[in-house]
Amino acid sequence: MPPAPRAALALGTLFPSVCGAVVIGVMASLGLPTGSALADPSVLRTNVCAAVVYMVVSIPSACVLGLWWTTVPVGSDQLTRHAVLMRIPARLTSISATVWTVAAAVLVTVNGHRLWLATTLGVSTLLGATVTATLTYWWCTRILRPHVAPVLTRNPPLRRQRPSLRTRAVAAWVVGTGVPLLMLMFVAVSSLVVEYPGDRLAVVVLGLGGGAALSGLFVTIFTATTTADPIEEVRRGMSRIADGHYDVTVPVFDASELGLLQAGFNAMAEGLRERERLRDLFGRHVGRDVARLAEENQSPQLVGVNREVAVLFVDLVGSTRMALHMAPEELVAVLNSFFAVVVDVVERHSGWVNKFEGDAALAVFGAPQSIPDHAGSALAAARELSATMASADPRMAAGIGVSAGIAVAGNIGDPRRYEYTVVGDPVNEAARLSEYAKSHGGIAASGSTLQRAGSEEAARWRVVSSCILRGRDTTTDIAMPSA
């Protein structure tokens, strides 16, 4: 552990004890119900000497023990270092409580033949032990928070560890209210047993009452801050997630209920990040619209519906030859560049790339989401795609075919493995038009597509021929972009 937090721990352990000892000493000599015992110089001298000797012996011993308990042995593994770090507050608290408890025993022993003095000093010292031990624990947990948080964030607690929030609330009441009230009650009882002037009783009541008010305020503020900090961290994390930023992790401060809350939030955020990663991956595989449709339909059915769609089929020219003469890495690079252009252009025109088939791609306009002018969008995408590939890379020459009509769209396959796709005559016709286009200018559309397209886009095309395409029985009017 660096010197700075170690020094802060030492200060936080010694300062409450020193302050408590001074307060008890002043109160015992000026206000506590000790009767006339301390008025005897020999009694006062005996108690002062006993207190000084005890402090000279106990404080160095406590410091040595605390240093030993907070030091990680050289060569220890990470698990051991983490275990020592997590035990520091409890260890230092136990040292403080032990020192004060033994001090109470020493004072009671020294004043054994003066019963009321022994009782007064013993009770006040034990109550001081309760306060100083609690303050020591709180101080240690606060100082160690920056060092504990990375450990617990990487290795979050799996179950609640003590002290729980309920225990901390009780401890806060004890320190801020319980101990001062017990002292007041003790003073009240003492006034009935020993000689206790009224003015001295008033001073004690005012002093303890004022101390109770101040300690209650400070303890309440500290407890509220300690509880609110982790909740505020979680609230800020939730706000970032609500804004769509899933790469958020909140620090885990301790292993109480608050630590479990923070760890639970981190687990939730990790799950959301994984869900978004899978959603993104799913969308890349099947298309954003299909992915969104699958999310909305919690019980997908293997059924299809008739949809009015336009289909664009693009097939790379000479891919077989390229596969024979290119290195695998170079061929994959060319294909990736080719498909990147296809995806960019198709999506810009509200289309959806249904599938990649080796060196070809099938794009659909009008399914799964309807668009106002599906045929016109497909024709515009074909023109832009042809122009883009011609200027991008000579090796990306392709045949582009466009068709439109009624097709069956839906989930096709088996309940164990299916995909959303379109089947029908427009798909077959677009593939045959793509073959035709490879040797007739690179782009071809069916006359039926022009008939379904908006007038503005249709005006950019003209029918140039009519023929029976391979594998078909009827004549197809073939259109190409106007020069």
Interval 343-353: pLDDT, tens: 899 989 989 88
What separation in angstroms does the CA of 260 have from each of 157, 190, 263, 471? 7, 47, 5, 66
In which band, very low, low, confident or very high, does the pLDDT at 376 lie, cut at 50, 70 and 90? Answer: very high
Amino acid at 168: R
In which band, very low, low, confident or very high, does the pLDDT at 9 lie, cut at 50, 70 and 90? Answer: confident
Q: Mention every residue, 6+ apart, whose C-beta is less than 8 A from residue 43.
A: 37, 111, 114, 117
Cα-flanking dihedrals φ and ψ of residue 359, to 5°? -110, 20
Mean pLDDT of 97-118: 85
Question: Rounded to an integer, what distance in angstroms lies between the CA atom of residue 204 and that of residue 331?
Answer: 92
Residue 462, SS3? Answer: strand
Averaged pLDDT score across all residues of the chain? 81
Question: Rounded to an integer, what distance in angstroms lies between the CA atom of residue 392 and that of residue 398?
Answer: 12
- Closest by CA to 134, choosing from 12, 302, 255, is 12
- Closest by CA to 449, choosing from 353, 354, 375, is 375
Mean pLDDT of 183-209: 75
Question: Rounded to an integer, what distance in angstroms lies between the CA atom of residue 18 and that of residue 5?
Answer: 20
Question: Rounded to an integer, what distance in angstroms lies between the CA atom of residue 399 and that of residue 439?
Answer: 8
Q: What is the pLDDT of residue 377?
A: 94
What separation in angstroms does the CA of 69 have from each of 63, 73, 91, 92? 10, 10, 7, 8
Rg of the chain on CA atoms, in Å: 41
Q: What is the pLDDT of residue 380?
A: 94
Q: Mention every residue, 6+ apart, whose C-beta is less than 8 A from residue 313.
A: 360, 361, 362, 363, 400, 401, 402, 403, 427, 430, 431, 433, 434
Question: Rounded to an integer, what distance in angstroms lies between the CA atom of residue 254 and that of residue 260?
Answer: 8
Q: Over 70: is that where the pLDDT of 284 sits?
A: no
Q: What is the pLDDT of residue 1?
A: 58
Q: What is the pLDDT of residue 403?
A: 94
Q: Over 80: is that where the pLDDT of 401 sits?
A: yes
Q: Percentage of residues in the chain with pLDDT exceeding 90? A: 15
In which band, very low, low, confident or very high, does the pLDDT at 281 lie, cut at 50, 70 and 90? Answer: low
The answer, as to whether pTM is greater than 0.85, is: no
Q: Which residues sit opposite 400 in a β-bridge?
A: 314, 443
In which band, very low, low, confident or very high, does the pLDDT at 293 lie, cut at 50, 70 and 90? Answer: low
Here the contacts of 263-271 (C-beta below 8 Å, separation 24 or greater) are: 263/152, 263/156, 263/157, 265/234, 265/237, 265/238, 266/153, 266/156, 267/156, 269/237, 269/241
End-to-end CA distance of the chain: 78
Q: What is the pLDDT of residue 165?
A: 78
Q: Percentage of residues in the chain with pLDDT exceeding 70? A: 89
Q: What is the pLDDT of residue 70?
A: 77
Every domain range in the chain assigned CATH 3.30.70.1230:
299-481
Q: Mention every residue, 6+ apart, whose C-beta is less than 8 A from residue 211.
A: 180
Amino acid at 338: F
Cα-flanking dihedrals φ and ψ of residue 301, to 5°? -110, 145
Q: Over 90: is that where the pLDDT of 310 sits?
A: yes
* CATH architecture for residues 299-481: 2-Layer Sandwich (3.30)
Confirm if 386 and 443 have CB atoms less than 8 A apart. yes
Q: Over 70: is that where the pLDDT of 285 sits?
A: no
Q: Mention every residue, 6+ apart, whose C-beta is less than 8 A from residue 5.
A: 143, 144, 146, 147
More confident residue, 216 or 475: 475
Mean pLDDT of 107-123: 82
Q: What is the pLDDT of residue 365?
A: 94
State pLDDT tens for residues 75-102: 777 777 777 778 888 888 888 888 889 9
State pLDDT tens for residues 33-63: 665 666 677 777 888 888 888 888 888 888 8
Question: Rounded to an integer, what distance in angstroms lies between the CA atom of residue 65 and that of residue 71?
Answer: 10
Q: Is the peptide bond before 163 cis (omega within 30 degrees of 0)?
A: yes
In which band, very low, low, confident or very high, does the pLDDT at 405 lie, cut at 50, 70 and 90? Answer: very high
Q: Over 80: is that where the pLDDT of 230 sits?
A: yes
Q: Over 80: is that where the pLDDT of 431 sits?
A: yes
Strands 476-481, 443-446: pairing is antiparallel
